[in-house]
């Protein structure tokens, strides 16, 4: 999967505190790609963190989301309709352009994926999904 994390900026402080225990120490999960001084891109568990004004505030469901847009389908219906008007902005000596088209999209999977269990193996109870949203928490 080639996803990334969408988050509200109110979550930054808590994400910066995420660590993974390694022996008696630990390692931060939020770090720039390639190391602490190499890249301006910030990652969480190796995936880019992207701030979004459409994410919810800290504690609400949707404040941190994993998104893989390769599992999202997009369709454009019909042709692009265009119009030009020199009258709309006549006082400013400007011409206005308008383009109209219909677009719709949806995720390509209807439910989460349960990984394959080999014959005689233990049935897996975990699932994967290209779209994951953290639940609301206090």
Helix or strand holding residue 106 (H, E) = strand 96-107
Q: Is residue 19 part of a domain?
A: yes
pLDDT computed for residue 18 by the predictor:
75
Distance CA 107, CA 5 (A): 17
pLDDT band at 127 (very low <50, low <70, confident <90, very high): confident
φ, ψ of residue 90 in degrees (nearest 5): -60, -40
* DSSP of 19-35: EEEETTEEEESEEETTS
pLDDT computed for residue 37 by the predictor:
54
Output the six-digit token pair for 65: 């989301």
Distance CA 102, CA 35 (A): 43
What range does the domain containing 134 cover?
Answer: 1-67+127-138
pLDDT, average across residues 23-29: 76
| CA dist list (Å): 45 to 2, 16, 30, 36, 107 | 13, 12, 7, 14, 24
- Quote the number of domains for the chain: 1
Q: Is residue 44 part of a domain?
A: yes
Residue 101 in this model has a pLDDT that exceeds 90:
yes
Q: Is residue 63 part of a domain?
A: yes
Lowest mean pLDDT among 7-11, 33-37, 45-49: 33-37
pLDDT computed for residue 42 by the predictor:
76
> Residue 88: helix, strand or coil by DSSP?
coil
39, 72 contact by CB (below 8 A): no
> Residue 59: helix, strand or coil by DSSP?
coil
pTM: predicted TM-score of the whole model, two decimal places: 0.65
Q: Is residue 11 part of a domain?
A: yes
Q: Is residue 47 part of a domain?
A: yes
Q: Is residue 121 part of a domain?
A: no
Q: Where is pLDDT greater, at 15 or 65? A: 65
Q: Is residue 33 part of a domain?
A: yes
Share the mean pLDDT of the chain. 84
At a CB cut-off of 8 Å and minimum separation 6, what does 95 contact? 84, 85, 86, 89
pLDDT computed for residue 31 by the predictor:
64
Residue 38 in this model has a pLDDT that exceeds 60:
no
Residue 33 in this model has a pLDDT that exceeds 60:
no
Q: Is residue 41 part of a domain?
A: yes
């Amino acid at each position: 999967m080639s996803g990334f994390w969408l988050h509200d900026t109110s979550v930054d402080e808590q994400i910066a505190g995420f660590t993974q225990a390694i022996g008696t120490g630990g390692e931060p999960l939020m770090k720039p790609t390639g190391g602490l001084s190499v890249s301006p891109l910030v990652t969480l568990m190796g995936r880019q963190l992207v701030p979004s004004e459409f994410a919810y505030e800290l504690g609400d469901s949707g404040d941190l989301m994993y998104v893989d847009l390769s599992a999202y389908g997009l369709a454009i219906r019909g042709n692009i309709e265009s119009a030009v008007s020199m009258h709309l902005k006549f006082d400013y000596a400007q011409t206005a352009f308008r383009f109209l088209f219909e677009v719709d999209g949806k995720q390509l999977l209807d439910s989460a994926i349960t990984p394959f269990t080999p014959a005689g193996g233990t049935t897996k109870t975990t699932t994967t999904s290209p779209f994951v949203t953290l639940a609301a928490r206090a």
